[in-house]
Amino acid sequence: MAAGTDIGIDLGTASVLVYVKGKGVVLKEPSVVAFDRNTNKIKAIGEEARLMLGRTPGNIVAVRPLRQGVISDYTVTEKMIKYFVQKAMGRRAFSKPRISICVPSGVTEVERKAVEEATYAAGAREVRLIEEPVAAAIGAGIDISRPCGNMIVDIGGGTADVAVISLGGTVVNTSIKIAGDNFDDAIVRYVRKKHNLLIGERTAEDIKIKIGSTYPLVEEESMEVTGRNLMTGLPKTVTVTSAETEQALKEPVGQIVEAVISVLERTPPELSADILDRGIVLTGGGAMLRGLEELIEERTGINTMTAENPMTVVAIGTGQYVEFMSGRNEG
């Protein structure tokens, strides 16, 4: 098995992470591609392209080729995967890698096929698809091969996956298209309604990261936000507080909590007992939103914790899954 490399890719709506066997997560970049409309040439991929979002002249478009966990622009996704794989592998790119790549748990057969084909087209020798919650569980250090129930809530950029995992597979799961991007949209809508101010999605994301909360904080936090005043059409700065973000995020976060409850309602009793005992594990970038643990705990009565480095667990789990499978095949 010396030929080639094993790579795990967390192909997310908001960011792509690449895990290389023996090296860990080597690359984490936003899933944004900027290209020239006139020539169809790609101008920038990743962080460089993210900086162009909302700031491009007419002929250059910065797009996110994945929407809500699903490929919305096939050719751009293929080029993006190819670029990230080459960047991660560096000079050893002459041998084709084995790639395992994760998909949200609720995707259709057609959507799975699209991811698989894009990965083959990007230069993979072999492609394995793994469901996001399973990858998240492996990455969070849970031994998924045991007959014991674990609940994972993976909140990404485009989808939130809630799953109960036992014996290496999902028993009950649901995938909703409410996640980090919806948190940003909710903040944009709230600021527009309350302050009559139009802000971009990058600014909304900054608010979410810096002062966003879903549960009352001990100490109120605030930050200055600049956007376009809808009354005058001129730039204006207002102060937004963490309590306002709590109001703004109430609806999308509420839907995620409802999804958690609906999965718990469908969980077999033996596994329910395991979950009460072991708790709920939050993963994904959305898990970094403050107050989420407390909110879920308050609504379900089950101890809730966030995995260490929630951003990277899915990529690590995807990569370890490759090792887990290759160990099984060679053993």
> Given a cut of 80, is residue 205 above it in pLDDT?
yes
Q: Which CATH architecture has domain 180-248?
A: Alpha-Beta Complex (3.90)
Q: Which of 4-18, 127-141, 162-176, 198-212 has the lowest mean pLDDT?
A: 4-18
Cα gap 15→30, rounded to integer Å: 4
pTM value is 0.85
Residue 159 pLDDT greater than 90, yes or no: no
Digit-coded pLDDT (tens) for 263-310: 999 999 999 999 999 999 999 989 999 999 999 999 999 999 999 889
Per-residue confidence (pLDDT) for residue 1, from 0 to 100: 38
CATH of domain 144-178+252-306: 3.30.420.40
Smallest CA-to-CA distance from 98 within 115, 119, 117, 69 is with: 119
* Average pLDDT score over the chain: 88
Local confidence band at 185 (pLDDT 50, 70, 90 cut-offs)? very high
Residue 12 has φ and ψ, to the nearest 5°, of -100, 165
Q: Where are the domains of the chain?
A: 6-30+68-135+313-322, 144-178+252-306, 180-248
Instruction: Identify the pLDDT of residue 261.
Output: 96
Is residue 9 within 8 A of residue 122, CB to CB? The reply is no
* pLDDT value of residue 39: 85
Range with the poorest average pLDDT among 16-25, 177-186, 232-241: 16-25
For 312, the token pair is 């990277």
At 3, the pLDDT band (50, 70, 90 cuts) reads very low
238-268 tens-digit pLDDT: 999 999 999 999 999 999 999 999 999 999 9
The answer to whether 6-30+68-135+313-322 and 180-248 have equal CATH topology is no
Which one has a higher pLDDT value, 91 or 62?
62
- Say how many residues make up the chain: 331
Say whether pLDDT at 139 is over 70. Answer: yes
- Each residue of 65-103: pLDDT tens digit? 888 777 888 888 888 888 888 888 876 656 788 889 988
- The predicted structure's pLDDT at residue 90: 76
- Span 48-61, average pLDDT: 81
pLDDT tens string 218-239? 888 999 999 999 999 999 999 9
Report pLDDT for 60.
84
* pLDDT value of residue 94: 64
Q: In whole angstroms, give the CA distance from residue 250 to residue 253.
A: 6
Beta bridge partners of 305: 281
How many other C-beta atoms can be found within 10 angstroms of the C-beta atom of residue 312? 21
DSSP result, 192-209: HHHH-EE--HHHHHHHHH
The fold adopted by the segment(s) 6-30+68-135+313-322 is Nucleotidyltransferase; domain 5 (3.30.420)
Q: Which amino acid is at 196?
A: N
More confident site: 106 or 180? 180
Residue 319 has phi, psi (to 5 degrees) of -65, -40
